[in-house]
Every structure is written in structure tokens, then in C-alpha cells.
Amino acid sequence: MSDKRRIRTILRRLEKAYPDAECALHHRNAYELLVATILSAQCTDETVNKVTPALFARYPTPQRLAAAKRADVERLVHATGFFRNKAKNIQGAAQTLVADFGGEVPRDMDDLLSLPGVARKTANVVRGVCFGLADGIVVDTHVRRLSQRLGLTQNDDPAKIEQDLMQVIPKSKWIVFAHQLIWHGRRVCLAKKPKCDECVLLDVCPTGPKILKGLA
């Protein structure tokens, strides 16, 4: 099977398996997704989703978060880990939104990257989910692991992985492809014990047969 045909097969099967794949971080608007994504660094989405209801109830707008007492923000985000730095970043982002963008989350990539705590992954998430804009492919731990196992990249650096994926995945699929890989990574292609015998991609995955034989 040619590489192009294999990738088309991967995309087709992921779409069939996860037709409703979407961002797992609970949010009602771009501000909430921005904050949740910053909090998700080195933390599970499940934990973030437990933390954010109280956080957004207390600070429903960038203006409210920008004016908050840092100690109160730290207490609310403590469970996400690295809470002092995360509290500093989400409050700094809120303050920048208020000062530079009228309290609204900007669409422009460079504007998003100017916010404290926002790197390319977070910017891609916000632009893709909230605005339907695709500058690249979100590379989180699941996308990184699965793209390597599927032989879509030989790199380990997220920025290089993103570039590799952008070369082979059609731009129209960049946003949903990341969500589908993340769902597949959580449900089937687990980090420690992947369920290769249940995987719809087994016959187009160079790693799966090796895992089943105990060679990987």
C-alpha cells in the first residue's frame, strides 16, 4: 500500500470510528477554552474539567480574572499542578486581553502567541475549535505518540512532528484529525497497554503488529 493510500485509509477509518470527535476541554466560549488549554499543560483534561467550573463561576470574564487576587486563583487551579505558574499565566493572559484586545480573545496567531502562557499548541486549539481556522495541527501527548506509532513522523519534538503531519495530512482535516487521534489515543492506542487487537488501524500501523508480538 502506498503512503498516500495508507494515510487516506487512516483518515477514513478515524472519521468512521470518531465522527463526533471534538475538544475534550469543557468550555462555553473562547476565553474559557484559552484558560482551560493553558491549565491543561502537563495535566489531564479530566482534571482541568473538574477545576474550571468553580474557576469560571468566580471569574466568568477576562476582566474579573485580571482583577483577581493571585492567591485565590492559585487555590482554584491548585489541582492542575504547577499551580503558581499557571495562575500567573492565566491571569497574565486575562490582563493582556483586557489591555490590548478589548477583553476579547483574538483570532490572529501572532496576537494569541503574545498572551502569557500561550504557545503554538494552545493557539492552534483556540483558533481551530473557536474560529475554525487551521494554521497547523495540535500536537499533544496523544498526537505525538500515535503519529510516531503510525509512522507519520520519526521526530520527537512537537514542532517538528507538527511540520511532518502538515506535509501528509490534507489541510481540510488538520483540526478534526487531531481530535480523532486524541480520542483514539485515550480509548484504544493507550501509552502503556495499547489495545492493538481492537484497533481499526492495525493493518495500516507499522507498530501494532510488533506490540502484539511483544517486539516493541
Tens-place pLDDT, residues 146-168: 999 999 999 999 999 999 999 99
pLDDT at 95: 98
Amino acid at 100: D
Distance between CA atoms of residues 78 and 170, nearest Å: 39
Taking each helix axis from N to C terminus, what angle separates 30-39 and 120-131, rounded to the nearest 10 degrees?
A: 150
Quick one: fold of 30-131? Answer: Endonuclease III; domain 1 (1.10.340)
SS (H, E, C) 35-63: HHHHHCCCCCHHHHHHHHHHHHHHCCCHH
Widest distance between CA atoms in the chain: 58
Checking if the pLDDT of 216 tops 90, the result is no
Amino acid at 3: D
Cβ-based neighbour number of residue 120 at 10 Å: 17
Checking if the pLDDT of 14 tops 90, the result is yes
The residue ranges of every structural domain in the chain are 3-21+137-212, 30-131
Would you please indicate which residues are annotated as catalytic (active-site) residues? 121, 140
Grid cell in block for residue 27? 468550555
pTM beyond 0.85, yes or no: yes
Let me know if domain 3-21+137-212 sits in CATH 1.10.3080.10. Answer: no
User: pLDDT tens digits for 72-110?
Assistant: 999 999 999 999 999 999 999 999 999 999 999 999 999
